[in-house]
Chains A and B, each alone.
Chain A
Amino acid sequence: MAERDRLGRKTTAGGAWATRTVFGVLLLAAFLVPLALRGYWVRLLANVFMFGILAQGVNIIAGYCGYLALGNILFFGLGAYVTAVLMTHFGVPFPVAFAASGAGAVIFSAGIGLLILRLKGQYFLMATLALSELMREVISSLDITGGGRGLTLPMFTGGAATVNNFFYYLMLLLMLACTFCIWLIDRSYLGLAFKAIKFDEDAASVMGINPPPYKTAAWAISSLFTGFAGSAFAYWMGYIDPGVVFEITPSIKMYLMMVLGGAGTVWGPVAGALFIELVSELAWSRFMEYQFLIVGSILILTCLFTPKGLMDLVGKKFTWSLFTKGIRENKI
């Protein structure tokens, strides 16, 4: 049913069935991609889905709970290293190492979260950044992690197409599982508690919510997603070093994807990941020299037009006033 605003105007035009049909077709297409497209596209999309998982990880802590976890790459690196160490030194099979990566990330985030989730706003943001740098230094100086030289994991056995398809479906299913998890949270009391905490922790406690356990839970879920992605990434690449898995750029990128797609929405971060990765890929392949200029301009314009993210456009009529509205409300 279409929702109406105060004046009785429809805020979602066209009915939900159209959105659902488009969604269903996209989902089906996603499952059929490896049958139809070349390896390049399969790898590219697997990478997009990985960023989708990472952006969903940021979504749950920053989008829902309002805690700006800019250094979430910490759990990506942690997950990657847990898998790499277990597989190279202990001969553990991938599924077990994968589960251990998720568990390791959750234990670490829950422990450290009890301490640093007391910080708010930019202070929390800086603490997460510092933690990820700290973790990189620690891993660079340990023997078991191979230090700065990195680790080479056991190869995934099979031809190039099998490898591509395996990681494509792994990333796709993982992303869908994370999104389903967020969808469940969005509809539950847990999600309401997160949203209340994002608005104001005092107001949340007046509702009978004790913020610290909820914030810790949000960060633990966030780290679980991110740790899983790191684990899959390590096995996919076959080689990791601290510089690759603790790099700051992807950390900022997944945050940007979450904001651009729609913070605190179920599908926004996935849409953001798809949008940013495809735009940068196109810009890179077509306009090599100007790629950052083009990507940057597109991102700025998109933020101006839809300050609440791409998901805010779903179901709306594309009129000129819709596009100028974002600019007017930003007072530019």
Chain B
Amino acid sequence: MLEGVIEIVAGVLILAGAFFVLVSALGLLRLPDLFMRMHAATKAGTLGAGLVLFAAALFFGELAVSIKAAVVFLFLLLTAPVAAHVLGRAAYYAGVTLWDRTMLDELRGKYDESTDEHDGPGAGSPAPSDR
């Protein structure tokens, strides 16, 4: 009885995880600029993979499997945002254009390429709010 319930719950979790991974692939194709694609691509990894890992731990119900799943999830949490940040930052300073419906860019003009310095708020030119 309990085994059946666990199987069903694990199945649902795996489907939900796969759904989020599918959505991220879809987002990668559909979204208009690099930053928004990063939103779709890097995060679904966290939740999608997390759900699948959780389902695996639940299904096998063994300590060794659970610990492995937890460690894999931990490494995902540690590495995904670093990669996303580095890619996003590099892209921004390489001059990747933002989507034309982007409302506000408060980072514009805050970076001095010749001195490699970033100013805090207040300096730099005001952001174009109604392009």
Please determine whether chains A and B interact with each other in the same assembly: no
Which residues of chain A have a CB within 8 Å of any CB of chain B?
A: none
- List residues of B whose CB falls within 8 A of some A CB: none
